Amino acid sequence: DGYFYQRVTQCRYSSKDLQGIELIDSYVFNKAEYVRFNSTVGKYVGYTEHGVYNAEAWNKGPELARALGNLERFCKHNAPIYYSA
């Protein structure tokens, strides 16, 4: 009946040390993940032909710096809230 698009961004906290925080930003189309940013890897990785194309472009553009900044702005900034719960 249509298309399904989803973007899932999550922070994974493995220890109270702020170095152990990982940002995962996944892009899904029709229930298949096609590209993902992983802060541990430090770049976008494509899983389909379209995803590889996007990952190559995003790794060369401002999107990569924005994603790396989200680790600081979003995950590390909210870590005290996560650990206090």
The candidate with the shortest Cα–Cα distance to 26, out of 69, 78, 11, 1, is 11
* Integer Cα distance of 28 and 72 in angstroms: 24
What's 5-84's CATH class? alpha beta
pLDDT in tens, 55-81: 999 999 999 999 999 988 888 888 888
- What's the pTM? 0.84
Domain ranges in the chain are 5-84
Dump pLDDT digits (tens) for 10-22.
998 887 777 788 9
